[in-house]
């Protein structure tokens, strides 16, 4: 599978099609266009990354896609069918999200078992106990973690629970909101490996948002550079590695991401 | 719920069971959490003192017939206004009744009022506050204006108005106090909910397709419970004082009921000559209120991480 | 190299708990001259605590012990709180991660910088203000007179951090401790802020302790790097040789990073050797 070729990727059946997405915060003179005419397509099994600095609108795109913010313009189509602004249960069954901060994304008073049982109950899955054990093994924790509370877990373990929670109802598309930026580098490596493994094993499609170019290009075959609510350009991971950028801003970002070079 | 872990507990000792690094059942996991909190409470002497006093009062109330030394209604005018003595530990009142025994039975009334008020006010405030905070919009506006109206009256005045309308009596006093006690709880729960609803873990359940009812009851309410429990415990003092105040004004418990506020009121005439008649129920109110306050403070330290 | 500014020998920081004590920094030794020294490590490695210990800004529950902790000939262990106040901000200053928490929200930016200067220099208000404006210019703030009058909430993260740097550098300290000064900033702004810090530190010949979790950044920015793990310094290595580090922990950290220059399938997950906990500090590379 030559996934790094954008032409190949686009020719696959589209899982997600975003056309002319725009999100405006506030009204009147103080209105802020957080996302401005963003369009992209995600093929089945692809991993696509949105990259940019804080405030560039990348997380807003993700939240609009997930249905956390239903006030957006443009259309979002899942398998070529437009999804309603108020998402239904069927959508959530197939699209799940992993959040940035594992310390904030788990309910502080719920045991791991209850965190995982809830989505199963909502979507009426059978064999909940077996499924919980299976997913805990799949994310590398094991059934002994069932009766733990979030505060007893490390950041990496929490993020594994959050990934388990997203995957337990077997979605196709996983939205990743900077899933490793709150973690130490060694834990980041574990989580990135896990995400890579899970994608292979479960035939998942990823949409990842990050400010870390190295992380995004490690996981995704295709990335889009965002700035001020717009997508500046789409590149393959190979383009990024080779530094093949067309826009001056993208070039500056690539350069700054490599490390520290004093400004002459 | 889980007989098996209890067997284990007996097998290896409760301590080992509570310290097990990998809990083998949800029950064990919850008990472990609870025991940790208990250890932290143990380290706070003021809170432990408060708890001890509350437990003592509860035990006294529970076993009042055994603890009391005299019939609380039996009048003996020959023995009126006796100083504390071996026969009457806290002396007698103006009708010759034993103050100690009346105090013991009065503890029942006080705790009855306090508990019933808490049982009415806490869930009511919690549900109104979380619903209002989570749903927002016009639901929030309507509910919060109702809360504002209740908050606009001083609680004793509000209680007075209700008792005046419903007629004096202990049950009416409880309803009146509960009606004055829930709005601050609703405010508190709403404020908590406003910060909770923005959190990622609520976003996560929303993305699982959970309904608002499920989110409020299953995810928001559990987060609000600790602060509401703390608040209600700290409010106990004012509830007890309000109850006593109503009793004192003759609008709560009616004579010859040994309610502490009513006892205080009847001792008022003799306060200069026979101070203990008013002083002892007054002291009981003070100690009980103080105990609830001390315990509430300690509870806040262990339940509410922001103040820990 | 001449006599180092800061000498640390066998420094330990212990937290007394109710049941047991925890040693967060365990017998570390290093020295800092007029150079840029990076301290890298993962969370819990004790890197931030080490920085705070130098200023004796540790929490109450912590006890500091060291065979030697001296700054420019002053014994910091024996120094009184009064002496420490004279040193803090004046001779050693600290830049924290988020300027939002370090600037007083109710005071104008300019007043805060002016105050920082007057605290340690007996000069008139006019002169201090002129110094503050010059300092804002030095941290490349375009319109210093306007920024001088702003409140902290009115400036962006990058500008806030530059203001912090101005405030911390205006008393002309000999040693600057920067604890993750750019972690809250975007990459393009990070570069500007680091350039400014670099320039000011180099020009004034001050020493810099740069605490960070970012190995790549430290490798490029600093002269020398201390790699910390579990309260110990694993390796003390010249920054330009960091990528050829010899200590297995340093190597493991480097290998666990996703890289931009080549494609890797699975990343190396560091395995940890309990022997490192008590092992010696590996002195790598040629000593400057």
ipTM computed for the complex: 0.87
Tokens 């991971």 sit on residue: A237
What's the mean per-residue pLDDT of chain B? Answer: 86
Is C191 close to A218, i.e. CB distance below 8 A? no
- The CATH-assigned architecture of domain A6-105+173-258 is 3-Layer(aba) Sandwich (3.40)
**What subunits touch chain C, counting only 3 or more CB pairs under 8 A?**
A
* Spatial distance between the Cα atoms of A233 and A161, rounded to a whole number of angstroms: 34
Pick the closest to residue B246 from B187, B138, B183, B158 (CA basis): B158
pLDDT of residue C272: 83
Contact status of A217 with chain C (Cβ, < 8 Å): yes
For chain C, the domains span 1-85+178-185+209-288, 92-172
Q: What residues contact residue C218 under an 8 Å CB cut-off, 6+ apart?
A: C38, C40, C210, C212, C225, C239, C242
Higher pLDDT, B4 or A241: A241
Query: A258 to chain B nearest CA, in Å?
Result: 31
Closest CA to B192 of A158, A109, A162: A109
Q: Nearest CA to A46 among A84, A68, A13?
A: A13
Quick one: pLDDT at residue B279?
Answer: 87
The verdict on residue B162 lying in a domain is yes
Q: What Rg value do the Cα atoms of chain C yield, rounded?
A: 20
* Closest to A173 measured CA to CA, from A65, A97, A95, A76: A95
pLDDT in tens, B209-234: 999 999 999 999 999 999 999 999 98
CA distance B287 to B237: 10
- A261 in contact with C at a CB cutoff of 8 Å? yes
Phi/psi of residue C190, each to 5°? -50, -40
Report the neighbours of B using a cutoff of 3 or more CB pairs below 8 angstroms. Answer: A
pLDDT at B306: 54
B130-142: b or e for each residue (b if 16 or more CB lie within 10 Å)?
Answer: bbbbbeeeeebee
- Expressed in angstroms, the distance from the first to the final Cα of chain B is 32
- Residue whose token pair is 């056309």: A19
Question: What CA–CA distances, in Å, run from A229 to A21, A143, C99?
Answer: 10, 43, 26
Listing DSSP states for C16-83 in one string gives E-SS-EEEEEEEEEEEE-SSEEEEE--TTSSHHHHHHHHTT---TTEEEE-SEEEETTEETTT--HHH
Per-residue pLDDT, B236: 86
- Determine whether the interchain pair B23/A123 forms a contact, defined as Cβ–Cβ distance below 8 Å: no
List the end-to-end C-alpha distance of chain A, in Å, as a whole number. Answer: 43
CA dihedral over A73, A78, A82, A83, signed as positive or negative: negative
Domain boundaries, chain A: 6-105+173-258
Closest-CA distance of chain A to residue B29, Å = 6
CA distance A202 to chain B (A): 19
Asked whether the predicted pLDDT for residue B26 surpasses 60, the reply is yes
Per-residue pLDDT of C62-99, as tens digits, reads 999 999 999 998 999 999 999 998 898 889 999 888 77
pLDDT at C11: 94
Give per-residue pLDDT as tens, C198-241.
Answer: 988 888 889 999 999 988 899 999 999 999 999 999 999 999 89
Q: Hey, are the CB atoms on A118 and B222 less than 8 Å from each other?
A: no
Nearest to A185 among C190, C221, C257 (CB): C257
Quick: pLDDT tens for C141-186.
888 899 999 998 888 888 888 888 888 888 889 999 999 988 878 8
* pLDDT per residue as tens digits for the range A61-96: 999 999 999 899 999 999 999 999 999 999 999 999
Are C66 and C149 in contact by the 8 Å Cβ rule? The answer is no
B-chain CB neighbours of A113 within 8 Å are 26
Task: Tell me the C-alpha distance between C93 and B199, whole Å.
Answer: 36
A196 contact C CB<8A: yes
Cross-strand partners of A22? A73
The SS3 assignment for B74 reads coil
pLDDT value, residue B170: 84
Q: In this complex, do A241 and C263 lie within 8 Å of one another by their Cβ atoms?
A: yes
How confident is residue C2, by pLDDT bands cut at 50, 70 and 90? low
B297 touches B46 (CB < 8 A): yes
Q: Which of A47, A57, A67, A66 is nearest to A22 (CA)?
A: A57
Note the pLDDT of residue C102.
81
Contacts of B5 in chain A (CB under 8 A): none
> Mean pLDDT throughout C10-24?
85
What average pLDDT values come out for chain A (264 residues) when binned by 10 residues?
Answer: 46 85 86 91 94 89 93 93 92 94 91 94 94 95 91 92 95 94 90 94 95 92 94 93 90 84 67
The stretches of A51-184 forming alpha helices (DSSP H) are 58-66, 89-94, 112-122, 128-138, 155-167
Which of C206, C213, C196, C222 has the alpha carbon at shortest distance from C256? C213
Look at residue A12 in the predicted model and tell me its pLDDT: 65
Burial code of A106-143, b = ≥16 C-beta within 10 A, e = fewer? Answer: bbebbbbbbbbbbbbebbeeeebeebbbebbebbbbee
Domain count, chain B: 1
Residue B73 has pLDDT above 90, yes or no: no
| DSSP state, residue B79 | G
Contacting residues of A for B28, CB less than 8 Å apart: 147
Q: At C138, which helix (H) or strand (E)?
A: helix C125-138
For the stretch B122-153, pLDDT in tens is 999 999 999 999 999 999 999 999 999 988 88
What CATH number is attached to the domain comprising B187?
Answer: 1.10.3720.10
Q: What is the mean pLDDT of residues B77-93?
A: 82
**CATH class of the domain defined by C1-85+178-185+209-288:** alpha beta
- Asked if residue B3 has pLDDT above 80, the reply is no
Provide residues of A within 8 Å CB-CB of chain B: 66-68, 87-89, 91-93, 95-97, 99-101, 104-111, 113, 118-119, 122-123, 144, 146-149, 162, 165, 169
The answer to whether C187 contacts chain A (CB < 8 Å) is yes
Q: Is B128 within a domain?
A: yes
- The pTM of the full predicted model, rounded to 2 decimals, is 0.86
- Round the average pLDDT of chain C to a whole number and report it: 88
How many other β-carbons are positioned within 10 Å of the β-carbon of residue A60?
23
pLDDT in tens, C109-143: 999 999 888 888 888 888 999 989 988 888 888 88
> Cis (ω within 30 of 0) for the bond into A109?
no
Contact A147 B25 (CB under 8 A): yes
Nearest chain B alpha carbon to A167: B208
What residues of C are in contact with residue A51 (Cβ under 8 Å)? none
Report which of C233, C247, C213 is spatially closest to residue C278, judged by C-alpha positions: C233
Asked whether the beta carbons of residue A53 and residue C260 sit closer than 8 angstroms, the reply is: no
* Distance between CA atoms of residues C189 and A193, nearest Å: 30
Check CB contact under 8 Å for C188 and A256. yes
Both tokens of residue C2?
């001449």
Residues in chain A with CB shorter than 8 Å from the CB of B208 are: 92, 96, 118-119, 122-123, 165, 169
């Amino acid at each position: 599978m030559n996934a790094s070729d954008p032409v190949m990727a686009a020719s696959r059946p589209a899982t997600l099609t975003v056309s002319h997405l725009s999100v405006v915060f506030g009204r009147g003179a103080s209105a802020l266009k957080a996302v401005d005419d963003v369009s992209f397509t995600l093929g089945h099994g692809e991993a696509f990354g949105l990259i940019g600095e804080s405030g560039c609108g990348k997380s807003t795109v993700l939240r609009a896609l997930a249905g956390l913010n239903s006030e957006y313009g443009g259309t979002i189509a899942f398998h070529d069918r437009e999804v309603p602004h108020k998402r239904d249960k069927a959508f959530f069954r197939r699209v799940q999200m992993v959040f940035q901060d594992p310390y904030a994304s788990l309910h502080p008073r719920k045991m791991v078992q209850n965190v995982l049982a809830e989505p199963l109950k909502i979507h009426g899955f059978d064999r909940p106990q077996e499924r919980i054990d299976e997913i805990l093994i799949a994310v590398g924790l094991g059934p002994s973690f069932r009766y733990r509370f979030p505060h007893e877990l490390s950041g990496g373990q929490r993020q594994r629970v959050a990934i388990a929670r997203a995957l337990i109802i077997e979605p196709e598309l996983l939205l990743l909101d900077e899933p490793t930026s709150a973690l130490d580098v060694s834990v980041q490596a574990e989580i990135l490996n896990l995400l890579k493994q899970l994608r292979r094993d479960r035939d998942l499609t990823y949409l990842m948002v990050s400010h870390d170019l190295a992380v995004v290009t490690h996981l995704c075959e295709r990335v889009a550079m965002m700035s001020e609510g717009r997508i500046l350009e789409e590149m393959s991971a190979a383009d990024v590695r080779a530094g093949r950028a067309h826009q001056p801003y993208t070039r500056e970002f690539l350069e700054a991401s490599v490390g520290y070079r004093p400004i002459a | 719920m889980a007989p098996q872990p209890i067997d284990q507990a007996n097998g290896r000792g409760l301590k080992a069971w509570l310290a097990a690094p990998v809990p083998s059942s949800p029950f064990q996991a919850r008990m472990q959490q609870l025991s940790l909190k208990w250890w932290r409470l143990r380290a706070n002497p003021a809170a432990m003192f408060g708890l001890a006093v509350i437990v003592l009062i509860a035990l006294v109330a529970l076993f009042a017939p055994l603890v009391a030394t005299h019939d609380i209604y039996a009048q003996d005018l020959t023995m009126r206004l006796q100083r504390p003595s071996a026969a009457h530990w806290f002396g007698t009142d103006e009708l010759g009744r034993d103050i100690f025994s009346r105090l013991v039975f009065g503890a029942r009334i006080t705790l009855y009022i306090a508990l019933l008020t808490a049982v009415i006010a806490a869930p009511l405030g919690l549900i109104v506050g979380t619903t209002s905070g989570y749903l927002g919009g016009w639901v929030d506006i309507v509910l919060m204006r109702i809360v504002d109206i209740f908050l606009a009256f001083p609680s004793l005045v509000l209680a007075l108005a209700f008792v005046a309308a419903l007629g004096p009596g202990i049950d009416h006093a409880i309803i009146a106090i509960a009606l004055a006690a829930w709005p601050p709880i609703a405010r508190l729960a709403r404020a908590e909910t406003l910060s909770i609803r923005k959190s990622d873990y609520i976003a996560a359940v929303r993305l699982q397709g959970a309904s608002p009812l499920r989110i409020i009851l299953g995810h928001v309410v559990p987060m609000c419970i600790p602060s509401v429990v703390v608040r209600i415990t700290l409010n106990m003092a004012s509830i007890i004082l309000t109850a006593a105040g109503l009793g004192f004004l003759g609008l709560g418990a009616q004579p010859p009921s040994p309610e502490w506020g009513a006892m205080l009121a009847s001792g008022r005439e003799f306060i200069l000559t026979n101070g203990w008649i008013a002083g002892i129920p007054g002291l009981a109110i003070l100690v009980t209120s103080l105990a609830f306050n001390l315990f509430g403070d300690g509870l806040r330290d262990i339940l509410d991480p922001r103040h820990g | 190299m001449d006599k180092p500014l800061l000498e640390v020998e066998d420094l330990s920081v212990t937290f007394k708990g109710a049941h047991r004590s925890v040693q967060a920094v365990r017998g570390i030794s290093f020295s800092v001259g007029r150079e840029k020294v990076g301290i890298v490590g993962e969370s819990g490695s004790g890197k931030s605590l080490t920085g705070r210990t130098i200023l004796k800004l540790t929490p109450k529950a912590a006890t500091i012990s060291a065979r030697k902790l001296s700054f420019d000939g002053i014994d910091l262990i024996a120094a009184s709180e009064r002496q420490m106040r004279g040193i803090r901000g004046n001779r050693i200053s600290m830049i924290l991660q988020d300027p939002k928490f370090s600037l007083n929200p109710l005071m104008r930016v300019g007043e805060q910088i002016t105050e920082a200067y007057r605290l340690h220099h007996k000069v008139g208000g006019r002169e201090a203000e002129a110094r503050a404006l010059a300092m804002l210019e030095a941290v490349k703030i375009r319109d210093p007179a306007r920024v001088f009058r702003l409140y902290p909430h009115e400036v962006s993260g990058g500008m806030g951090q530059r203001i912090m740097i101005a405030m911390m550098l205006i008393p002309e300290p000999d040693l600057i401790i920067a604890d993750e000064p750019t972690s809250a900033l975007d990459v393009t702004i990070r570069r500007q802020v680091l350039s400014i810090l670099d320039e000011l530190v180099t020009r004034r010949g001050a020493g810099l302790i740069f605490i960070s979790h970012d190995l790549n950044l430290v490798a490029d920015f600093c002269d020398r790097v201390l790699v910390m793990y579990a309260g110990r310094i694993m390796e003390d290595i010249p920054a330009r040789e960091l990528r050829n580090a010899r200590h297995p922990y340093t190597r493991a950290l480097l290998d666990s990073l996703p890289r931009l220059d080549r494609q890797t399938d699975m990343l190396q997950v560091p395995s940890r050797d309990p022997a490192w906990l008590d092992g010696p500090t590996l002195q790598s590379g040629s000593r400057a």
